Amino acid sequence: MTIGNREDNGKLVKVKTCGKLYIAGEYAVLISGHSAVVKNVNIYMEAKIKFSNNYKIYSDMYGYSVSLEKNEDYSLIQETVNIVNEYLYIKAIKTFPFELNIMGKMENNGKKYGIGSSGSVVILVIKAMIKLYKLKISKEEVFKLSSYILLKRGDNGSMGDLACITYESLIVYTSFDRGKVSTEIEKKSLGKIMDMDWGYSIEKLKCKEKYEFLVGWTKKPSISKDMINHVKKSINEKFLENSDRNVRELVKGIKTGNCKMIGNALDKGGKLLKNLDKSIYSNELEKLVKASDGLDIFSKSSGAGGGDCGIAVSFNKNDTEILIERWKKENIDLLYSSEL
């Protein structure tokens, strides 16, 4: 097809995006220039898209479809479509309506897992539209475009979730000054913002040895936005220094496959968060972590805490079985496991 010309009108295009979980550096990464380690969780959201005479957007999250006419449930998806259309316009591409189907709620019985569904859906829509128009886009551009969308909506996160979901990999992410970029967004065009140097870094990590990464789901949803607003005031220089040192240790441990370093860093990271604010370790997360006592496994809360998921890294397969049994007794589901 010639770009922007709807010759292959009926052709269906498919894309998918993963979820994510924080392993270290939570809350510190909210302050620009500080870092976090974030792991891809390969539970996917999928989209099918094709050109159509009218916009028709459906998500299994809501069970009904909309056009681009403002709808509260669909506002994140609709805004993403509008901004990607603006991006296409900058690239001198004529846009057309389409039908978009989104599947994979990243939840169970109406309870979210807390593995980054809002970040994932934004990147899903970007990838779907880019593929529909047969364009190439760099990962850096996907990250900036998705961050632009969330910043415009007043999101108070570090964008580490978007970094991880964009790169579909274990990463170490150093955050940019979101206040500064947000101020620029008010004054400048999307094109100018995309061309700016934002001052973040994203590095893909690969663990040298094969260790097991496990995710326990507490089934108690927690709202990161509220947790951030509550905990942010407790972040001080000492915490930032300790957290960064710990992230560096973890990164080193991962790169060299040093289980002692990895275990220590997970342990320390958990304690740093516990001391930062008591709301981070809910009763369920306490139980999740306690279950690894005496095993060759290290576990901690993940992300904002207060519920959602905790993570563990196991250095012993037999111990993994014991941990999963213990979690079961505490009503914690093994949501996901993979290599670290």
- The binding site for Mg ion (CB under 5 A) comprises 114, 224, 303-304, 308
Residue 228 binds which entry of Mg ion, ligand PMV, none, with Cβ cut-offs from 5 to 8 Å by kind? Answer: ligand PMV
Amino acid residing at 60: D
Nearer to ligand PMV, 130 or 285 (CB): 285
Nearest residue to the partner ligand PMV, using Cβ: 303
Q: Of residues 104, 269, 303, 310, which one binds ligand PMV by CB under 6 A? A: 303
Q: What is the nearest approach in angstroms of ligand PMV to the Cβ of residue 148? A: 16
Of 160-219, binders to ligand PMV (CB under 6 A) are 160
Distance CA(159)–CA(35), nearest Å, equals 11
Nearer to ligand PMV, 22 or 298 (CB): 22
Nearer to ligand PMV, 160 or 263 (CB): 160
Q: What is the nearest approach in angstroms of Mg ion to the Cβ of residue 115? A: 8
Residue 322 binds which entry of Mg ion, ligand PMV, none, with Cβ cut-offs from 5 to 8 Å by kind? Answer: none
To 10 degrees, what angle do helices 160-167 and 139-152 make?
Answer: 150
Residue 157 binds which entry of ligand PMV, Mg ion, none, with Cβ cut-offs from 5 to 8 Å by kind? Answer: ligand PMV
Nearer to ligand PMV, 158 or 169 (CB): 158
Q: How far is CA 96 from the centre of its chain?
A: 29
The residue count for binding ligand PMV (CB under 6 A) is 14
Place of tokens 């099918």: 48
Q: Kindly write out the interface string for residues 143-162 of this chain, putting x where it contacts ligand PMV by CB under 6 A and - elsewhere.
A: --------------xx-x--
Beta carbons of 113 and 19 less than 8 angstroms apart: yes
Q: Of residues 13, 23, 24, 29, which one binds ligand PMV by CB under 6 A? A: 29
Beta carbons of 43 and 19 less than 8 angstroms apart: yes
Of 222-241, binders to ligand PMV (CB under 6 A) are 224, 228
Q: How many CB atoms lie within 10 A of CB 254?
A: 25
Task: Check residue 19 for interaction with ligand PMV (CB under 6 A).
Answer: no
Q: What is the nearest approach in angstroms of ligand PMV to the Cβ of residue 333? A: 17
Interacting residues toward ligand PMV by CB under 6 A = 22, 26-27, 29-30, 114, 157-158, 160, 224, 228, 303-304, 308
